[in-house]
Structure 1
């Protein structure tokens, strides 16, 4: 796992995504010339018009432009991607109270020892161990949400657009006391954003757009990294969203790692990128082991609805 900010920055520099020229963008995306008529320009009105006709096409052209050689165009595309209009993701959803509650924890960070729980943990063992200690402390009733982005293939086009839009949808769901983190993984697991209550998504968009990814898929490493991240949160409600086809190419059985999230405790949901039968079966198995559900995300524009479906 790579989580030190300096190491993350260095890794992103070393494995930066390839930049594209205007000519390459024009040839590869039929909508590019309409939204970027001149060098360094991105016509927001043209993007909005395209989004009204074909939201997935608009998302693709933004994802492509976000990797342009032209720094002005690249910055404009990323800024627009970070504030994509998603409607109101909270419609019909009751607010969760932004307060704390007293809970028992198996760690020494609480304010008081929970004697009953500590004695019960020791049971008939003849000697005390640190693992026996249970304390009482305040825990936020907020929600910790961790997005796991499968970057084992080429993180571009629909995959990049889906990741950016999912992150944006999660940011729009943040309420007081909530936290959001983002981890990208392939044969490595890289913490692009540690769990934080900061509602800004621009750093995540920048890092997703700069990430080349590739290589093999270590789902087991990804899920254990997710468990380590959400275990640090004081939120009572911890949710992990895996954006992937669910197919591991180089890892032990990820189902065991998915099951281990329940001990955090946390719940694993899967945003399934592929409609392939094998992929959907794998996604369903992971979600079932992690106590969560599966939502299809076969087009980037499905991201906001998929997030609402999984998180309520």
Structure 2
């Protein structure tokens, strides 16, 4: 799906707008944060965030879908620059530097015999995942954020997606790359893999996304793999924001394992506390060589991202 197709899809399924009366009924603090049409009082919002950060995040995301165009624009601009913590930890490499990296990856330039033999260990037969190769990699990390947009993208789910995207963008260092895709029965690339992502564009598109339909986790993971096939960064991660329940998908674990074989870690932010959902997310992360963490309220997003990626 090219850029024009994405824009057309977003126009065709644009999320429903909310009027001031509806916003006031749903959010008790609305009148203080937006006392007049077109106005967003950031001081009042900051006061609310100090008392109830999740309520503030829900309100910002609701305002991002307001009928009032000035209020909608102000809320989206604020959402794209929400403070979510410091950049990722560690000592950054010199910009533009490259280094030789050994990875469990058949596409490398040279076989790393020691690492390959160590991976095989005492196993009697060779398997594809034993193969380790060496190749030159750019420093930095490439990350693909996958946002589950099946059902309705609203409320806590939308707030969590917006805040996670903002957290990833703000954590970037020189040499890092970021892509963002939403998925349901189809996959939509909101931000192609780039060293200079545009958080404001991603936020705009998340707000405009109505979502719906079934959940194809296998398609989502294959979409991430296609993006990461373009990178030469030393580290590659996929961050999946989902309840882990595939309703229209082959078993996604083989796609997760394929990511791991290519040297990518799959981490899952679990949106549901349902035991089956938690188990599915944990199994998917394990197959992808990564970890899972709960994300049951929007304000948990920055710390959850740090837990999984630092």
Task: Tell me the TM-score normalised to structure 1 length.
Answer: 0.88
Choose from 199, 202, 209 the match for 2:200.
Answer: 202
| Aligned CA distance change for structure 1 residues 233 and 155 (closer, same or farther; 3 Å) | same
Q: Which residue of 2 aligns with 1:176?
A: 174
Q: Which residue of 1 aligns with 2:271?
A: 273
Cα offsets for 1:173-221 (capped at 9, x unmatched): 1001000100100000110001111153100000000000011001111
Q: Which residue of 1 aligns with 2:93?
A: 97
- Contact (CA 8 Å) 1:89, 1:304: kept in 2 or not? no
Partner of 1:258: helix, strand, or coil? helix
Q: Distance in 2 between matches of 1:57 and 1:16?
A: 24
Q: Distance in 1 between matches of 2:301 and 2:148?
A: 15
Q: Distance in 1 between matches of 2:155 and 2:259?
A: 31
- Contact (CA 8 Å) 1:258, 1:268: kept in 2 or not? yes
Q: Which residue of 2 aligns with 1:11?
A: 9
Q: How large is the RMSD of aligned CA atoms in angstroms?
A: 2.2
Q: Distance in 1 between matches of 2:293 and 2:182?
A: 19
Q: Distance in 2 between matches of 1:223 and 1:78?
A: 28
Q: Distance in 1 between matches of 2:238 and 2:112?
A: 32
Partner of 2:60: helix, strand, or coil? helix
Q: Which residue of 2 aligns with 1:309?
A: 307
Partner of 2:281: helix, strand, or coil? helix
- Contact (CA 8 Å) 1:184, 1:190: kept in 2 or not? yes
Q: Which residue of 2 aligns with 1:54?
A: 52
Structure 1: segments with no counterpart, 5+ residues: 118-134
Q: Which residue of 2 aligns with 1:159?
A: 157
Q: How many residues align?
A: 289
Moved more, 290-299 or 136-145: 136-145
Q: Distance in 2 between matches of 1:30 and 1:197?
A: 40
Moved over 3 A (4+): 102-107, 113-117, 135-138
